[in-house]
Amino acid sequence: MRKIQVNALIEYLSPLSKQYREQIEHIEHTLGERDDAEIQQSLDSLTTQLEDTSRSIELLISQGSHLATELQDVREQIAETDTLSARYQELASSYQARIERYNFVENGYENVVQFPEAMLCPICNQPVPPQLQEQIFSPHRAEKENLEIRLADLLQTIEEMKEERNSLKAQETQPESQCEDINKAIDIDLKPQLAALQRDVENYRSLLSLTVEKEHMNNLLNETNKKIANLKNREFPNMQLNIFDYFPSEFSQDFGEKILDILGACAFPHLAQATFDETTFDAIINNQPKNREGKGYRSLINTAMFLALREYLASCETAHAPSILMIDTPLLGLDDPQVRKDSKEFIDTIPNALYEYLMMNQEYGQVIIADNQKFMPDIDMLRGKCNLIHFSKQNDSEDRYGFLHP
């Protein structure tokens, strides 16, 4: 691990250490002087009280349920007594009415017998046939006496039922009062006490969880401080970084061969050898560095290196391959005076060869060339083989004015 990586880790871990300390201080402030054993003891005591209160409520609820059942039985008996008493009252009224009717009939008979029987019809004033004349009979005393005996027995039964109802009402009062007392004890005393105990238990559980969190924070703080100390004490030997240690072993040879192939396809003059120099990370052409060439040939060599790199990145040797390559004026300076005396004869050949190579090797990704027509081959040769966009500074021209849309 390099020193810059170690410093980055120290910068990352130092705020964490401070954060852990602040959290521990906050927990200690919340806990105060209480330790784990004291908190656990208080929690156990509160839990016991909570369980006792819950059992008391359950016991009272059970008692209330039993009393409610008993009260319901008594009220059902009262309702049954009232229903039966109402029926007896109705029957007594019927008996009394029949007795009064008998008394009315007796009184009427005594009065009627004093007058002669009517022989004429009161409507038509015609004689009443003998067969239609009704004989008035006196009522039977035995039936009246039987009704009077039944009425007396029935009235006695009604009185007994009244006494029974009064007894049931007295029985109703006691369980009803007890149910009210139980409800008051639960709602006024035990439920508020239970809620308060539940809050206290929850608070102490939170405090107990804080002690666990404090221990966890202490472990994290110790581990972080230990890591920081180890990183600060790490020694770094003086080592020269060699970037090619991260490259495939055959990279330089393969890359040089690709440069040689591309320069050959682009008609580089007098090309005999092309290699890749790891020291300068540049191409060596015919055992000569690039700066020995003229400006135009240097541009061609740079373009060949870009194209070789594009091809290499598209191979199986790399993990990432860019899908686009942009080159601005790949043959810039080719029309300038060159170092080589015989370079003039190749100036017309190289542009044709370069663009022919680009059109024949499109499988490695898109290439965008921004070029001047004086460095390009005949436009007619390129039509239909690539996408040509002509830029012009003429506003009234059909050509495009610039890269950005107007």
Q: Can you tell me the distance from the alpha carbon of 252 to that of 312, in angstroms, rounded to the nearest whole number?
A: 11
Taking only the tens place, the pLDDT of each residue in 21-71 is 888 888 888 877 777 788 888 888 889 998 998 998 899 888 888 888 888
Q: 308 in helix, strand or coil?
A: helix
Band of pLDDT at residue 283, cut at 50, 70 and 90 = very high
Residue from 314, 321, 320 nearest 363 by CA: 314
Give the burial class of 338: count Cβ atoms within 10 A of its Cβ; 0-12 exposed, 13-18 middle, 19 or more buried. buried
Q: How confident is the model over 203-228, as a mean pLDDT?
A: 87
pLDDT at 303: 93
pLDDT at 8: 84
pLDDT at 205: 85
Q: How confident is the model over 306-316, as a mean pLDDT?
A: 87
Is 326 a residue whose pLDDT tops 60? yes
Is 112 a residue whose pLDDT tops 90? no
Pick the residue with more confidence: 359 or 139? 359
Q: Can you tell me the distance from the alpha carbon of 17 to that of 218, in angstroms, rounded to the nearest whole number?
A: 10
CA angle (96 as vertex; 93, 97 as ends), nearest 5: 85
Q: How confident is the model over 86-112, as a mean pLDDT?
A: 81
pLDDT at 275: 92
Supply φ then ψ for residue 284, to 5 degrees.
-120, 120
Is 110 a residue whose pLDDT tops 80? no
Taking only the tens place, the pLDDT of each residue in 169-201 is 888 888 888 888 888 888 888 889 889 988 888
Band of pLDDT at residue 403, cut at 50, 70 and 90 = low
Question: 118-127, 215-224, 250-259, 352-361: lowest mean pLDDT where?
Answer: 118-127
Q: How confident is the model over 76-93, as a mean pLDDT?
A: 89
For 235-259, the DSSP string reads: --------GGGGS-TTHHHHHHHHH
pLDDT at 319: 74
pLDDT at 306: 93
Band of pLDDT at residue 406, cut at 50, 70 and 90 = low
Question: What domains, with CATH codes, occur in the chain?
Answer: 3-127+136-232 (1.10.287.1490), 243-382 (3.40.50.300)
pLDDT at 146: 87
Q: What percent of the chain has pLDDT over 70?
A: 87
Q: Both tokens of residue 239?
A: 């080592």
Band of pLDDT at residue 342, cut at 50, 70 and 90 = low
pLDDT at 169: 84
